Amino acid sequence: MNVNQNSLGSQELYALARAFSGLSVKDVKVVNPLVQSMLIGWDWSKPTTLNMARTVFKDQIAAIFAVDPNGPPPLPVAAASADTPFVPPLPTEAQLNDKALKASEQVGAWYRSAVEWSKQRSPMTPVHFLESGVLWTIGLAINRRVCIEFHERIYPTLYLLLIAETSKYAKSTGMNAIRSLVSATMPHMLIPGSTTTEGMMEILSGSLPANFEKLTKRDQELIEAGRRFAGQRGIILDEYSSLLGAMKKDYMAGFVELLMRMYDNQDSEQHHTRSGGMIIVKYPGLSILGATTPAAMARTVSAEMWENGAMARYLMMFREDPLPYNPEYISWNIPPEVWQPLAKLHKNLPLIEVNNLLSDEQDFEPLKAQISDEAHKQYRAYMKAVFYDMLDADLDERLHGNYRRMHIQAIKIALALACVEWAQGSPSKPIRIELGHFAIAQTITEKARESLHRLMPVLNQSSDARTQKTLLTVLRNAPGGLMSIRDIVKLTGRNTSDVRSAIEVLVESGELEQVEHRHEGAGRPVTLFKIMHPK
């Protein structure tokens, strides 16, 4: 486990300096939830804890020791920076303690080696992008062939969305590294992401494309291999906003709902078309890896998609500060110790054989993983925190759905990690989620939770800026240069509250002027707006 240097602010450095010095950190406010859990959960009086902390913070140790632990604390989080949103800390009982964090160091060897390779392949990509991308490949390799049973069956497939501005964060290079790992182990598992609802259903049902006979032999072989996993496939799509935006088009009707149902892993999915009749996908299990920008998300993701649970199904990773310039890329060749365990896992799990798509009989039973008592206790504590305890009035309502699924995201990741280690051991032993697996999973999920809180203000800013730009354009072209809020809302299709907020900003900045207009005869005056200095 390592902590990104860019995620340590003045509060974190000060708190860690005090912890290393044996001083109280009780009243020190920190933003980083992982550091918060370490400060509270670890016993800093033990030499073993201090040694482990030096390893975890090896890249930041000089900066930590440069802080005076006896000096005054830095400014409170809210005053330190207007651009640093507050991330609500987990309740103490849900935080990872010293034992859980130590356990995480004893598992996940392949996961760490794959992340290390991807970091060398794309050194300027945010590390949490690569970590989550590697975990996504495991879920794709397994898909619906292994589950953990609680109140329902949970499979390790993920919808993962990487979000960063163009060019600065090398997200495409990082995604290409993940794509190359999939191509080296299971290329038949990928399907096109740019398709219609009907096209997606046809691919996942195992139907051959109309031009199959005209394709190259290699492409035909890949399609045939993929048909053995028909409904359990993956999409890797850079510029994922193109798909998000297309979902609003008439020809993509039902696509959002389809993706939501695919995530929920129902036993079958049915779709009726006039031309093709009934299309049935048996045991659907879709894995999605997409990348987009904050501006594109603000433009294409509607408020409804946050409210109806569509976006809540995505594990979202938002960029941190840009990494230092590093031109030292390694070659595309993937070491055997990285690709072989993933290929072995994918190959050795039982295939989903469907004898009769219309039969009511259960054709396939996935392997059922076990979970240790310690891991289950941590899972339940985390579930209570994100599903119930933290859903208060201070939490952005758009994030309620995401919070309520974070424990599911965590157990999916823990299951994926347990499966990799099982595949490298004895197949006669059961797959078992240990405390260390869940500790890694919770750490990754907490990075996603922190990402959401950093992302939302940026989305708000992007959305507000677009609304303001649209409003100015409308007013420049309005007859007489004057319009009311009602007319602007009607013409632009924007929410009234968004238009009012944009107008307030533009009036305050001096770009718009408010004019009271009285119609002939009786009646109240109407408030109109015009551009102060039209070009």
Structure confidence at residue 80 (pLDDT): 39
- The arithmetic mean of pLDDT across residues 387-413, rounded, is 93
Structure confidence at residue 276 (pLDDT): 65
| pLDDT tens digit sequence for 11-57 | 788 889 888 888 888 777 776 777 877 887 788 888 888 888 888 88
Q: Which long-range contacts (CB under 8 A, 24 or more apart) does 346-354 make?
A: 346/141, 346/142, 346/185, 346/186, 346/189, 348/423, 348/427, 349/141, 349/142, 349/145, 349/146, 349/423, 350/145, 351/145, 351/228, 351/229, 352/144, 352/145, 352/229, 352/232, 352/282, 352/283, 354/282, 354/283
Mean confidence (pLDDT) of the chain: 86
CATH of region 477-531: 1.10.10
Q: Is residue 118 within 8 Å of residue 178, measured between CB atoms?
A: yes
The token duo for 254 is 């039902």
pLDDT at 359 over 50: no
Higher pLDDT, 114 or 33: 114
Element housing 177 (H / E): helix 171-185
Q: What are phi and psi of 412, to 5 degrees?
A: -60, -45
- CATH 3.40.50.300 residue window(s) in the chain: 92-462
Structure confidence at residue 30 (pLDDT): 74
pLDDT at 101 over 80: yes
- CATH 1.10.10 residue window(s) in the chain: 477-531
- Please state which CATH class domain 92-462 belongs to: alpha beta
Where helices occur in 239-372 by DSSP H, the ranges are 241-246, 255-263, 294-300, 303-307, 336-348
Query: Could you tell me the pLDDT band of residue 94, with boundaries at 50, 70 and 90?
Result: very high
Structure confidence at residue 72 (pLDDT): 78
Structure confidence at residue 93 (pLDDT): 94
Alpha carbons 179 and 181: distance in angstroms, whole number:
5
118 Cβ contact partners less than 8 Å away, ≥ 6 residues apart: 125, 130, 133, 134, 174, 177, 178, 181
